[in-house]
Amino acid sequence: MSGPVRRYVERQNAFQAWGQYATAKGSRQTRIEIWLEELAPTFSNGSVRVLDLGCGDGRSIDVFSSAMPAAKWHGVDIEGSPEVATRIRTDRQFDTFNGTELPYPDAHFDLIYSRQVFEHVRHPDALAKEVARVLRRGGAFLGEVSYLEPYHSLSIFNFTPFGMISVLRDAGLDPTELRPGIDGLSLIARQMLGGAKWLDFLFKASPLNGLISLFGTAAMLTSEHKAFLKLQYCGQFSFLAVRHDDSSIFE
């Protein structure tokens, strides 16, 4: 059965457009925090400059303190963000910007981290170009965005995998990998129940992703094909991109 099923998947337009970014490592449901822990050893344990783009209440400080304790963390967000309004932390540098122009010099950061931000950005193409500008050559942009997720917290856009890849490429960034997060049906159900906290376990392992894994195993699909199918129906996905450079640490 594996041959016909695999050929059916590979004939899909979506597979032709962005299937190459679905990798074996992405066959398991991923959260951006977990991916960061995996990436951390690729950076030197010294003066690594990190920017949390859309830092909100600053919760990623604790994530980086665990994964990259020596990193120099900076956070930036728009002044009117609902998440900024809840911020009580003062133990790191927090900056504000106009949603488009970042207040930093060229090639200033080694890593830019952006969790569930770009669906709230009014001009994502312009901001992605700013990311490329302030990211050093060979540096990394690790992000997470909404795809099949309902409206939330003043969200404006939802990105398809191909759409996010297009934004990154147009900005001068090289997308290298996409990984699926929670499936779309689970996010919809959670929102219909008022964002019930007892459903937060779905962000680690959601039902549709589990069914895709079982189906893929039965059909003898590769891990890459499983990852692709999960990306097609995910509510959120993560991406990794690098600034154009022949000496990228991710090659």
Q: What confidence score (pLDDT) does residue 145 get?
A: 98
Q: What are phi and psi of 136, to 5 degrees?
A: -70, 160
CATH for 213: 3.40.50.150
> Does residue 210 lie within any of the structural domains?
yes
Domain total for the chain? 1
> Does residue 103 lie within any of the structural domains?
yes
Candidates 118, 117, 144; CA nearest to 30 is: 144
Which run of H or of E encompasses 140?
Answer: strand 135-146
Cα pseudo-dihedral 187, 78, 135, 171, rounded to 10: 70
Q: What confidence score (pLDDT) does residue 245 get?
A: 64
Q: What confidence score (pLDDT) does residue 195 get?
A: 85
Q: What confidence score (pLDDT) does residue 247 get?
A: 45
Q: What confidence score (pLDDT) does residue 251 get?
A: 47
> Does residue 249 lie within any of the structural domains?
no
Length of the chain: 251
> Does residue 158 lie within any of the structural domains?
yes
31-34: which pairs have CB atoms within 8 A and are 24 or more residues apart?
31/144, 31/181, 31/203, 31/204, 31/238, 32/113, 32/115, 32/142, 32/143, 32/144, 32/181, 32/238, 33/63, 33/67, 33/115
Q: What confidence score (pLDDT) does residue 104 get?
A: 97
> Does residue 237 lie within any of the structural domains?
yes
> Does residue 251 lie within any of the structural domains?
no
Candidates 89, 56, 20; CA nearest to 228 is: 20
> Does residue 169 lie within any of the structural domains?
yes
The tens-digit pLDDT sequence of the chain (251 residues) is: 568 888 989 999 999 999 999 999 999 999 999 999 999 998 876 679 999 999 988 999 999 999 999 899 999 999 878 788 788 788 888 999 999 999 999 999 999 999 999 999 999 999 999 999 999 999 999 999 999 999 998 899 999 999 999 999 999 999 999 999 999 999 999 999 998 889 899 999 999 999 999 999 999 999 999 999 999 999 999 999 999 765 444 44
The range of the structural domain enclosing residue 170 comes to 2-243
Q: What confidence score (pLDDT) does residue 64 get?
A: 93
CA atoms within 13 A on the CB side of 195: 5
